[in-house]
Structure 1
Amino acid sequence: MKTVLNFFLAAMAILAVSCAPKTSKEQANNRQPNFVIVFIDDMGYGDIATQGATGWTTPNLDKMAAEGMRFTNFYSAQPVCSASRAGLMTGCYPNRLGISGAFFPYHEIGLNPQETTIAEMLKSQGYATAIFGKWHLGHHKTFLPLQHGFDEYVGIPYSNDMWPLSNTGHELPEGNNRLKYPDLPVMKDNDVLFTITNWEGQDTLTTLYTEKAVDFINRNANNPFFLYVPHTMAHIPLGVSEKFRGKSEQGVYGDVMMEIDWSVGQIEKALADNGLTDNTLIIFTTDNGPWLNFGNHAGSAGGLREGKTTSWEGGQRVPFIVKWPGQVPAGTICNKLGCAIDILPSFAEIANAQLPEQKIDGTSIVELWKGNTEANPRETILFYYGKNNLNGVRKGNWKLVLPHSWASYNTEPGRDGQGGRRIKMTVETPQLYNMMRDPGEQYNVIEHYPEKAAELMQVVEEARAELGDLNVGIEKGSGNREIGRL
C-alpha cells in the first residue's frame, strides 16, 4: 500500500511541476526568437578592436564577437546613408527601389509605402517592433517608421549634419545653404518631441537611444520583438556624453566609439536581465565606410581602399557580428560573402515569415550563421552608386571595377570637424582585383585573368538588363520600381 501511495504522490508532484506557471525565462525560450539590429553610421571596417582599432577599447563588441560570429566579407547595400538603409530594411538593392544617395530636409520623397520592411514582415508574425535612432528614409509622415511597420519610434529623421549650424556647432555665414534647414528634430512616433539647436544636444543622442532600447526590452520581455537601433553616431558632427568625453587616447572619435560600445553592452545586459539572451539574435553592423576627409573625426577603413560614397572596398565592406547562443557557433569567423540585403530573408526563414510579394535581391544566409562551412548562399555582390550607376561586381574572390568617376580621399584630410577636400578620379577601363590576395585593390590583374573578367561581365550584363546602368546610358532595367513621392 505504501508503494502505491508513494507512486501516487510522485505522479502528483510531476503533474504539479508540469502545470506550474512558466517563468519568464522559460516562456522566452519557448517562443519565437527576438531580433536586435544595432546599426552604426559612418563607422569603418577597422573601428573595432578585434579588427585592429587602436586608441580606444571596445570590450562589449569584443565579447560579442567572442560569443558569436564575425564576417570578414560583409557589405552594406550602398556606401551612403538613405540608400544603405533602404537595402537593409527591404532586402533590395536600393536602386531597384529608385533610392540613391541621402535624403535632405527639402526632399519630398521616401521609401515607397508599397515596399515591405523587416518590421512589417515580423509584425505580421506577432512581433512588437521599435526603432530608436536615425531613420533617413523620408521625413514626411507617410514615410516615417510607424507607416512602415514600427510600433514605436524615437530619433532623428535624417542625418545630424542637416541643421543650420556648421559641423563644429558654430553659426554659419550669411548665404550658406544650411541656413535653410530647420533645427534638428528629434521625433517621437509621428511628431516632433524636441529640437536640437546646439552641439551639446548632439551629445545626448547615443544615451537617449540606448535608454529607449533598454526600456523597450524591459516592457516586451514576454513578447517576441524586433528592436532596431540605428545610432546617429559616428556621423559628423560628433556628439558624446560626459560619461565618455576624453576617455580615449584618440580624441572625440574614439570617445564616440567607446560610447557606442557601451550602448551595445547596455542592450546585452537588458537582454540578460530579462532572461532573453539565449532566445535573441543580435546583429552589429554599419551603414557604410568612414567619411575619411574629416580626418581625426572619421574612422578607419582598416587598410581597405577609400571610404564612404565610393564603390571601393572601404566604402562598402563593413564590420558585421552576429550572436545567437546555441545557434551561431561562438568565437567563429565567416569569410563568405554577405550583404545587408540578406538580413530580411534570413529573419524570414528564422521566424517562418512570408517573404515580400515583390521581388527582393537578398538571400538567406542563416546556414552561414549556423556555421555551415559548405554553404555558399551569396555568390555575387553588385556595387551600385549614384542615381543608378553600376560601378563594379564581385563574384567569389574576384572583383571587377567598371569605368566610373568618384570623389577620392587621396589628398590631405580635414581636422576637428572641418572637412578636407576631395579630388575627382576616374576609372577609364575595367579593372580586376583578387580580393583574397589584394583586399586593398592596389593591383589590377585584368591582363592576367581575362577569363575571370569575362565571367564577371556576364553578371554585369544581367544586372544592367534588370536594374539598369547609367554609366552606359541604361536609365532603368526591367526590374526597377518607383520611389515613394508625396
Structure 2
Amino acid sequence: MLFEYLRGISVFIFMMLFSSALIARPPNILLIYVDDLGYGDLSSYGHPVIRTPNIDNLANEGLRLTSFYAPSALCSPSRAGLLTGRHPYRTGIKSWIPHDSGVYLRSAEVTLAETLKAVNYQTAHIGKWHLNSDLGSKEEPQPTDQGFDYFYGHNAFQIPTNKNPVNIYRNGQALPEQKGYTADLYADEAIHWLNDRDPKKPFFLYLGMAEPHVTIENPDEYNAIYAQYTNGPIVPIRSETGGPAKDKLKPRGPGEYYANITYMDAQLGRVLDWLKDSNLAEETIVVFASDNGPVTSDWLRWFEVNAYGDTGGFRGRKHFLYEGGIRVPAIIRYPGLVKPGTTTDVPVVATDLFVTLTSIGGGDVPTDRSIDGVDISPVLAGGKLPERSILWALASVSDIEFALRKGSWKLLSDKRRIPVALFNLEEDPLEFFNLLEQNLDVVEMLSHELDRTLADILADPFRPNKEMRFRFSQ
C-alpha cells in the first residue's frame, strides 16, 4: 500500500514537471517507424547476433517497452492507426494498399502532423508513406495534403530493391533513380531538412525507414560483418514484373538480413548524432517503433526469400494476429522526463502515440470523432494505465481476422467472429495453450466486447463506405 502511494506521488510530481516543461517550450519530436522489424531483431531485445549499437544506446537513454503493439500486422493499416490515433478500420485502411487501387487515407482524417502543425510545428515526412495508391496522384491526398510541409520517400516497397530505388517522390513529383541505399538516402534527407528548418520553431519529423522490408541489398562491408551466416555468393532478389528468375531464389542464410538491420542502425545513428551535435538531443523526444511483426524464415511468397526476422519467440509473423505479428520493439527517449534505462510491460499501442505526442506538443486531440488511442504520459513516468480492451482486425492469409486483448486475456476469432482461441498472456505469452473451453465466461465477456467495438466502428460517421479487397502484399 505504501509503495503504491509513493509511486502515485512520484507520478503526480512527474506530471507537474511535465506540464511545466511544455509551457516553457514544446519539444521537438522525432518519430522513427521502421518496416517489418521483429520484436527480437535488436540486440537490446535479445538478438544474440545482430549489432544495433545506436538503437541500443537509445534504449539505454530512454524507456524500452516490452508490450508495445502495432495497430495491425500489416503496413498500411498500421500507419493509418499511428497517424490518426484511430483503429485502422475506422479510416477504411483495412489492409495494405496496392498501387493504383484508389484506396487512400481520407482528408477528413486528422493526422498527427496536422495537430502539431496547428501549434506552429514544422513538419516533414521522410521515408515510407503507403497511405495512398499513387504518390503522384492529384486526386488522392498526399503527405503534404495531410499536415506535412515536406515529403521525400516511397509507398509500398522499394523498387527494385533498397539500392538505387526508382520509385522515390518528393512533394508529389516522381524523381529519377536515387543513387544509394534507402537507409542513407533517408538519413541524408532528414539531416538536410533539419539543417534547413527554422530553428525558432519546434519540429516534427516522421522518419519511415524502409528497412528491413524485402527486397534488400547492402553495402559490401556490412555483408562482410555477417559473412559466416551467409551461404555462397550474394545474388540480390529484385522486385521484378512476374518475379525473378527461379534460379536466384536460393536460401542463403540470415547474413544479409542481419546486415540490413545493422546498416539501418548506422544511418539512424547519424540522425541521432546530428541531434547531439546540434545541441538538440535534450530538447527532442525520440520515439522508435516497428510497423508490424517481421517476415520470418517461414516464407509465404518468393520475395520473402532470405528474410529471417525474429519474433523473440512469439508465435506468428507479419500478416498474423498472434503476438509475433503485432508485438514489436519500441523505445521512447525524453531527456529529463523519462528515466534512462527503464523498461515497462504496460500494454501500449501505436495509436496511443497520436494522443500522447499531440498532447506533449500542446496540440488538440479531435473531439468530434472516436479516438482509440490514449495518453500514455503516466507510463513515461513509470506508472500504469487503466485496464482497457485493445482490438486488432485484419483480413489476411489467416482464418483469424480478429484479436482482442483485455488484461492478460487475448481472444482470437474468425471472420464470422466465432471464437477460435483464448490465451492467458501472463502465463502463456507464446500462445501455446488454448483455454477456450475452460473459460467460457471469459470468452463470452471478450466476445461481447469485440461485438460492441466493431459495431461502434461500423457506425463511425467518418468511416468511408468503399471497401478494399485483400491482396497479398510485400
For residues 7-58 of structure 1, what are the alpha-carbon distances to aligned partners after superposition, in whole Å with 9 as ceiling and x for unaligned? xxxxxxxxxxxxxxxxxxxx99952101111111111110010212132211
Amino acid at match of 1:244: Y
For residues 383-416 of structure 1, what are the alpha-carbon distances to aligned partners after superposition, in whole Å with 9 as ceiling and x for unaligned? 10028985120001110111359xxxxxxxxxxx
Whole-angstrom distance in 2 between the partners of 1:129 and 1:168: 25
What does residue 256 of structure 1 align with?
Answer: 260
1:188 correspondence with 2:178: no
What does residue 281 of structure 1 align with?
Answer: 285
Q: Would you say the 8 A contact 1:283–1:322 is kept in 2?
A: yes
Whole-angstrom distance in 2 between the partners of 1:168 and 1:94: 27
Q: Would you say the 8 A contact 1:78–1:384 is kept in 2?
A: yes
1:301 correspondence with 2:311: yes
Runs of 4+ in 1 over 6 A off after TM superposition: none
Q: In the TM superposition, what is the alpha-carbon distance from 1:251 to its structure 2 partner?
A: 1.2
What does residue 7 of structure 2 align with?
Answer: none
1:82 correspondence with 2:64: no
Q: In the TM superposition, what is the alpha-carbon distance from 1:450 to its structure 2 partner?
A: 2.7
In structure 2, do the counterparts of structure 1 residues 153 and 483 end up closer, same or farther at CA, with 3 Å as the change threshold? Answer: farther
1:336 correspondence with 2:346: yes
Whole-angstrom distance in 2 between the partners of 1:241 and 1:42: 20
Amino acid at match of 2:349: C
What does residue 471 of structure 1 align with?
Answer: none
Of 192, 202, 205 in structure 2, the residue corresponding to residue 227 of structure 1 is: 205
Q: Would you say the 8 A contact 1:111–1:483 is kept in 2?
A: no
In structure 2, do the counterparts of structure 1 residues 366 and 46 end up closer, same or farther at CA, with 3 Å as the change threshold? Answer: same
Q: In the TM superposition, what is the alpha-carbon distance from 1:222 to its structure 2 partner?
A: 3.6
Whole-angstrom distance in 1 between the partners of 2:364 and 2:267: 32
1:385 correspondence with 2:362: no
Aligned CA RMSD, in angstroms, stands at 2.6
In structure 2, do the counterparts of structure 1 residues 451 and 429 end up closer, same or farther at CA, with 3 Å as the change threshold? Answer: closer
Amino acid at match of 1:128: Q
Q: In the TM superposition, what is the alpha-carbon distance from 1:280 to its structure 2 partner?
A: 0.7
Q: Secondary structure at the match of 1:303?
A: coil
1:448 correspondence with 2:438: yes
What does residue 185 of structure 2 align with?
Answer: 208
Whole-angstrom distance in 1 between the partners of 2:293 and 2:260: 16
What does residue 437 of structure 1 align with?
Answer: 427
Q: Would you say the 8 A contact 2:64–2:330 is kept in 1?
A: yes
Q: In the TM superposition, what is the alpha-carbon distance from 1:358 to its structure 2 partner?
A: 2.6
Whole-angstrom distance in 2 between the partners of 1:32 and 1:378: 29
Q: In the TM superposition, what is the alpha-carbon distance from 1:100 to its structure 2 partner?
A: 1.6
Identity %: 31
Whole-angstrom distance in 2 between the partners of 1:29 and 1:262: 35
Q: In the TM superposition, what is the alpha-carbon distance from 1:277 to its structure 2 partner?
A: 1.0
1:398 correspondence with 2:418: no
What does residue 151 of structure 1 align with?
Answer: 149
Q: Would you say the 8 A contact 1:39–1:228 is kept in 2?
A: yes
Whole-angstrom distance in 2 between the partners of 1:97 and 1:314: 24
5+ residue gaps, structure 1, are: 1-26, 170-182, 406-426, 468-475
Q: Secondary structure at the match of 2:224?
A: coil
For residues 441-476 of structure 1, what are the alpha-carbon distances to aligned partners after superposition, in whole Å with 9 as ceiling and x for unaligned? 110112333332232223112113212xxxxxxxx3
Amino acid at match of 1:315: G
Whole-angstrom distance in 1 between the partners of 2:393 and 2:42: 26
Amino acid at match of 1:361: D
Q: Secondary structure at the match of 1:36?
A: strand
Q: In the TM superposition, what is the alpha-carbon distance from 1:264 to its structure 2 partner?
A: 2.3
In structure 2, do the counterparts of structure 1 residues 484 and 271 end up closer, same or farther at CA, with 3 Å as the change threshold? Answer: farther
Q: Would you say the 8 A contact 1:398–1:433 is kept in 2?
A: yes
Whole-angstrom distance in 2 between the partners of 1:185 and 1:300: 28
Whole-angstrom distance in 2 between the partners of 1:107 and 1:480: 20
Of 336, 346, 360 in structure 1, the residue corresponding to residue 356 of structure 2 is: 346
In structure 2, do the counterparts of structure 1 residues 336 and 479 end up closer, same or farther at CA, with 3 Å as the change threshold? Answer: farther
Whole-angstrom distance in 2 between the partners of 1:115 and 1:168: 30
In structure 2, do the counterparts of structure 1 residues 212 and 29 end up closer, same or farther at CA, with 3 Å as the change threshold? Answer: farther
In structure 2, do the counterparts of structure 1 residues 298 and 350 end up closer, same or farther at CA, with 3 Å as the change threshold? Answer: same
> How do 1:33-72 residues align onto structure 2 when only pairs under 5 Å count?
33-72=27-66
Q: In the TM superposition, what is the alpha-carbon distance from 1:105 to its structure 2 partner?
A: 1.6
More divergent stretch after superposition (350-359 vs 85-94): 350-359
Whole-angstrom distance in 2 between the partners of 1:404 and 1:65: 38
Whole-angstrom distance in 1 between the partners of 2:221 and 2:200: 32
Q: In the TM superposition, what is the alpha-carbon distance from 1:368 to its structure 2 partner?
A: 0.5
Amino acid at match of 2:286: I
In structure 2, do the counterparts of structure 1 residues 279 and 483 end up closer, same or farther at CA, with 3 Å as the change threshold? Answer: farther
Count of paired positions = 406
Whole-angstrom distance in 2 between the partners of 1:257 and 1:92: 29
Whole-angstrom distance in 2 between the partners of 1:157 and 1:382: 26
Q: Secondary structure at the match of 2:176?
A: strand
In structure 2, do the counterparts of structure 1 residues 482 and 210 end up closer, same or farther at CA, with 3 Å as the change threshold? Answer: same
What does residue 234 of structure 2 align with?
Answer: none
Amino acid at match of 2:402: N
Q: Secondary structure at the match of 2:223?
A: coil
Q: In the TM superposition, what is the alpha-carbon distance from 1:429 to its structure 2 partner?
A: 4.5
Q: Would you say the 8 A contact 1:36–1:228 is kept in 2?
A: yes
Q: Secondary structure at the match of 2:353?
A: helix
In structure 2, do the counterparts of structure 1 residues 243 and 484 end up closer, same or farther at CA, with 3 Å as the change threshold? Answer: farther
Q: In the TM superposition, what is the alpha-carbon distance from 1:268 to its structure 2 partner?
A: 1.3
What does residue 108 of structure 1 align with?
Answer: 102
What does residue 89 of structure 2 align with?
Answer: 95
Whole-angstrom distance in 2 between the partners of 1:235 and 1:91: 24
Q: In the TM superposition, what is the alpha-carbon distance from 1:217 to its structure 2 partner?
A: 2.4
5+ residue gaps, structure 2, are: 1-20, 230-253, 468-474
What does residue 174 of structure 1 align with?
Answer: none
Whole-angstrom distance in 2 between the partners of 1:483 and 1:377: 33
Q: Secondary structure at the match of 1:109?
A: coil
Whole-angstrom distance in 2 between the partners of 1:340 and 1:93: 10
